Structure 1
């Protein structure tokens, strides 16, 4: 393996930093969602490698829908819906392809359109906001032993 082979593609550092930040922000978001699921369904964390981000968002909403406390239930469901939307946005970034633009710069393209630093940073901001919402729920209302509705006791 050639040392510094990663430097052979002439992409600017600012773009890579933006992409890396977005990737990390989504990983934090996904982890907070996973931990929220684990609070509502103990042991869920062991399923982490078998569920997609969209599936995880659906599971957060499903388990939250069984919570007895309405304001917590509604907040969790809203965060899960936003997480599902953001999973699509992450997929747009992740499943884009590299290209050289007419000015010689390297960018990722999705649907024949270059992703800009601003768009990627906006995505990272949205990932972080949703992550923080889930984190507040995780360490706040979901930290308490919540009384679950009878349907929460059903096996899944």
Structure 2
């Protein structure tokens, strides 16, 4: 029903951290997609029809990067592509986390019994943003010259 979401006990700061982290990841994911598009024109049109997950996108991006003939360009592209793949696993740990009650009574998400604190979520969002910036530079600089 309308407004049922308001029955969920979560503080605004935690909800904000979660939302910002999810948004930062979405930007990073699309920078990965655009990187793949630069390497294989038409790639972007396969995302929705094939319902590609972030994990599939990460694997395919790495495969495309490994096929780059220029070893310098390949090395430049491989680091953020592999970082994106690692961050997909972290994102899964956050957004597929288990809801529960923290020792202080706050409602939180947990991964392998560890609480996703606001500071941990913020740190994740910063890692994602750093990767996103690198992928964006690759799209607009290194791969734009190909």
TM-score, normalised by the number of residues in structure 1 = 0.86
Instruction: Return the offset for 1:115.
Output: 0.8
1:154 aligns with none
1:21-40 correspondence to structure 2 within 5 Å: 21-40=20-39
Distance 1:137 1:93 in 2: 27
Match of 2:61 in 1: 60
Offset of residue 17 of structure 1 = 0.5
Corresponding position of 2:83: 82
Q: By how many angstroms is 1:66 displaced?
A: 2.3
Q: Secondary structure at the match of 2:47?
A: helix
Does the 8 Å CA contact 1:58/1:84 hold for their aligned counterparts? yes
Deviates more, 1:112-121 or 1:54-63: 54-63
Q: Residue 56 of structure 1: CA displacement?
A: 1.3
- Off by >3 Å, runs of 4+ in structure 1: none
Helix, strand or coil at the partner of 1:60 = helix
- Counterpart of 1:149 in structure 2 is none
Structure 1: state its 5+ residue gaps. 147-156
The aligned counterpart of 1:116 is: 117
Task: Report the counterpart of residue 42 of structure 2 in structure 1.
Answer: 43
CA contact (8 A) 1:39 1:143 kept: yes
Q: Distance in 2 between matches of 1:109 and 1:132?
A: 28
User: Structure 1: how far apart are the matches of 2:65 and 2:108?
Assistant: 39
- State the TM-score, normalized to the length of structure 2: 0.92
Rg larger for: 1
- The 8 Å contact of residues 60 and 76 in structure 1, kept in 2 or not, is answered as no
2:6 aligned counterpart, secondary structure: helix
Show the counterpart of 1:106: 107
Q: How many residues align?
A: 144
Cα offsets for 1:80-107 (capped at 9, x unmatched): 1111111110010011121123432111
Q: CA deviation at 1:70?
A: 2.3
1:151 alignment partner in structure 2: none
CA contact (8 A) 1:33 1:134 kept: yes
> Per-residue CA shift, 1:45-82, capped at 9, x if unaligned?
01213322222112112112222332221111111111
